[in-house]
Amino acid sequence: MPGPSSAGRRDRVVGGNWKMNLSADDAVRLGADLRARLGSQRGVRLVVFPPYPFLVPVLAKLRDSAIEVGAQDVHPEASGAYTSGVSAPMVRSLGCTTVLVGHSERRSHFGDGDALVAQKLRAVLAESLAPILCVGETLAERQRGRTDEVITRQLSTALAQHTPTALAKLVVAYEPVWAIGTGLSATPEQAQAVHASIRGWLASRISPDLAARVPLQYGGSVKPDNAEALLACPDIDGALVGGASLDAASFARIARTAIRR
């Protein structure tokens, strides 16, 4: 169900998910390189997601720059006897602005089901952090024609109980699981069709105004050579970048492509 595009009203958002990579020194060097290339960049919202141990030094390196720092995940509880857990209040107290929620690797490797993703989303919203809610289908689900069914279920479980006001900071990232870390990427036509469906769901289930304002990212083997075609689609407002975000030059090219589109 296509929804209103109104792309001129929406932020353009490019995120760099560093995943479980780098050493502390490498993370600081990457932060410094990104600051030199993009630290005063305007026209696009930039967020990087270092591993937990590197949040503090990367935040220090990027302080007072145009690049925000976010967390890759949070525990659904604010505090308690949850050894190894990291909570939304903790990452907010460091200066993080944003949290990835329901990334496909959390769903597939750590067993984060729809209900747990919804709990984490509530925890992020409770701390006035910006959630990037990740949704997407597996290759088997796409081949069986279940893409819309899967994404509608993921959206409904996470978002249906929230008001438009509560979701004012929401970003949704469509990341087909079959394109994460595989070198494969959805075609612009495939990605646009799913983004239009997501925007239509938001318009019908939450509010048309929210649907027109929520930035939708594409994630799945985004690289400088395919970013332009993907970001030219009317309902794709940015990218959630994995491997290419570990190279400052590549990430900068993608960020600048988002500004030009």
Burial of 33 per CB tally in 10 Å (0-12, 13-18, 19+): middle
CB 156 within 8 A of CB 118: no
Give the Cα separation of 199 and 251 in Å (integer): 26
Residue 129 DSSP label: P
**Which of 8, 54, 11, 32 minimizes the C-alpha distance to 239?**
11
Buried b (16+ CB within 10 A) or exposed e, 220-243: bbbbbebbebbbebebbbbbbbbb
- Give the residue numbers annotated as catalytic, written as ranges: 103, 175
Q: How large is the C-alpha radius of gyration of the chain?
A: 17
- What is the widest separation between alpha-carbon atoms in the chain? 48
Encoded tokens for 53: 């141990």
Encoded tokens for 83: 């050894």
